[in-house]
A and B are shown apart, each in its own frame.
Chain A
Amino acid sequence: DAGVIQSPRHEVTEMGQEVTLRCKPISGHNSLFWYRQTMMRGLELLIYFNNNVPIDDSGMPEDRFSAKMPNASFSTLKIQPSEPRDSAVYFCASSLDTLYNEQFFGPGTRLTVL
């Protein structure tokens, strides 16, 4: 298995532009998580899906952020409009829907908003 796949790996955009980050979870995993990592705030959970359904989006910072999971093998995190404070590394992780599950992280997308 290729593991969790994220694209793009790096994204540089200008303030006000729309940004879409993509994630393909490990095949067979039915839980998917989006995290944001910054020096100031550490590793923050943004949203969690189970069987393609958003379960907890309390970590989504504001309405500019939205996430979808149209099927078991694909998820997107969209920021519209982007702001410089959104600059961070965004990780997608997936796991089996079992107790005491290991979360497998993707390589991350480094987002820079100018």
Chain B
Amino acid sequence: GENVEQHPSTLSVQEGDSAVIKCTYSDSASNYFPWYKQELGKRPQLIIDIRSNVGEKKDQRIAVTLNKTAKHFSLHITETQPEDSAVYFCAASLGSARQLTFGSGTQLTVLP
């Protein structure tokens, strides 16, 4: 089955700096890569996703890049704010399947 590895497990940045979280996946047939944000004590919520026919996608301060050849994808957050502090999970799935395989999560802390 699919295996998703996520790095780093913790990340601290100063407010206003950028944050980058990286994930690799094992199944070259995977074609859908969502990112979820989970605030403390809350449920995971989708913040952005990318499909394998696209190399990059942006939504305001967040962007995701995908390198299918290397089988890795990354989340980029610019101009970080304290409310960006949360755990971020990457995931991968075959579009024809419905299951997501999640990475282990990254605890992002934005220091004021």
Interface positions of A (Cβ within 8 A of B): 31, 33, 42-43, 45, 48, 50, 55-56, 91, 95, 97, 99-103, 105-108
Contact status B51-A100, CB under 8 Å? yes
Question: How far, in whole Å, are A95 and B96 apart by their CA atoms in the complex?
Answer: 14
Which single residue of chain B is at the shortest CB-CB distance from A59? B99
Instruction: State the majority secondary structure of interface residues on A.
Output: strand
Say yes or no: A48-B99 contact (C-beta < 8 A), given A100-B32, A105-B43, A105-B44: yes
Chain B contact residues: helix, strand, loop or mixed: loop
Smallest Cβ distance from B107 to chain A, in angstroms?
A: 11
Closest chain A residue to B102, Cβ basis: A43
CB distance from B79 to the nearest CB of A (A): 25
Please measure, in the bound complex, the distance between the C-alpha atom of A105 and the C-alpha atom of B38, giving whole angstroms: 11
